[in-house]
Amino acid sequence: MRTRAAIAWEIGKPWSVEEVELDPPKSGEIRVRLAASGLCHSDDHAVTGDTPNALPVVGGHEGAGVVEEIGPGVTSVAPGDHVVLAFISSCGRCRWCMSGRANLCDVGAQMMGGLPLDGTTRTHARGRDVRRMTNLGTFSPYTVVNESSAIKVDRDLPLDLAALVGCGVTTGFGSAVNTAEVRPGDTVVVVGIGGIGAAAVQGARVAGAQHIVAVDPVAWKLDQAKVFGATHGVASMAQAVPLVAELTRGVMADSAILTVGVAHGDMIAPLLALVRKAGIGVVTAITPYRESTVTMSLGTLTTWQKQLRGSLYGEYAPAVAIPQMLSLYRRGLLQLAEMVTRRYPLDDVQQGYDDMRAGRNIRGLVVFG
């Protein structure tokens, strides 16, 4: 079928919205008509070259919509079902899925490269085969995905907001409740209040944290962080140190979560300076893949028994996490509408990323009519 999509053709070039040819679903695949797609920073990393994505690629990996067609052998969904697309699929059979770490699934990792399991593409433009971000490509009204990437949800949920839990909300929330192990009464620092940071603040709040310190140089984001549950806000990690010391009587934070747009190795030492003995520093942000140097004190890592942890998809299994996140939304415990700063038509994807880079968005959302 003919449809349209936003494609990254070259590093450093704007997104190009153009007509594409989309193949029908093959075995184990489904075609989804999307309602919305979040503008996650990870797609921008493909444009800047911070992550080694093969180009050209249809952007977008945070979407929700309605199943329109299923391929042979599909059993988990049917036409008419409402689904949220998870950017990491899980096979349920590999070592990681079987040991409770479905976010590290081997099959999901393979499809993260932008191709289906058979190694061929489903999208074509300008006479070329085009990959899709994490094999989803949600910057298009229609996409064909593996059924393992689609999580069925209740039909009365707003699909535009449900799209957010496909990546950013679940990643940030899980960074707090799973990776940082936030407990009632904890003091938590969240560094970077974008889509993931806002969700990390909410995760810390739902987990019962007493003090949640938001760190961001953009003043209005600190105000918005308080809507999500932050108790305090400062512009930098350096400014957070005396505040956290005062709040904890010198003990320092139980955990600090790094959710900035682009992470660098010299951010780790100040991140760990915010946490107490045996405290946890969590890195959820993406670092340019060419960077391999981290600055930190190995002495305090050992003698103060501090921990530095990475977090992918909040350490959640998509099939479990997505219904849980939407249940929290139903109960009024998870704010999704408040996370959407602006909505854009597909043609304005580039404007959405310009707004993100300029600090004007918590989360931009592409909506399809």
Burial class (CB in 10 A: 0-12, 13-18, 19+), 283: buried
Provide the 10 A C-beta neighbour count for residue 284. Answer: 29
Q: Quick check: is 61 catalytic?
A: yes
- 195, β-bridge pairs: none
Instruction: Give CA separation, 84 vs 80, 148, 157, 203, in Å.
Output: 13, 11, 11, 20
Closest CA to 357 of 15, 9, 76: 15
Catalytic residue among 40, 91, 97, 105: 40
Q: Quick check: is 45 catalytic?
A: yes
Please work out, in degrees rounded to the nearest 5, the angle formed at the alpha carbon of residue 364 by the alpha carbons of 163 and 82. Answer: 15
Q: Quick check: is 94 catalytic?
A: no
How big is the chain by its Cα radius of gyration, in Å? 20
Catalytic residue among 16, 27, 41, 45: 45
| Token pair recorded at residue 333 | 């415990």
HSE-up of residue 136 (Cα within 13 Å, Cβ side): 31
Helical pair 41-48 and 349-357, crossing angle rounded to 10 deg: 90
Separation of alpha carbons 11 and 51, rounded Å: 10
What are the two backbone dihedrals, phi and then psi, of residue 230, each rounded to the nearest 5 degrees? -65, 140
Catalytic residue among 37, 41, 42, 105: 42
Catalytic residue among 61, 82, 211, 232: 61
| Token pair recorded at residue 177 | 């409740």
Separation of alpha carbons 192 and 46, rounded Å: 20
Residues 6 or more apart whose Cβ sits within 8 Å of residue 18: 4, 5, 7, 125, 126
User: Parallel, antiparallel, or unpaired for β 128-132 and 29-38?
Assistant: unpaired
Separation of alpha carbons 153 and 63, rounded Å: 13
| Token pair recorded at residue 308 | 């530095």
Catalytic residue among 91, 97, 105, 167: 167
Separation of alpha carbons 228 and 225, rounded Å: 5
- Cis upstream peptide for 288 (omega within 30°): no
Residues labelled as active-site residues: 40, 42, 45, 61, 167
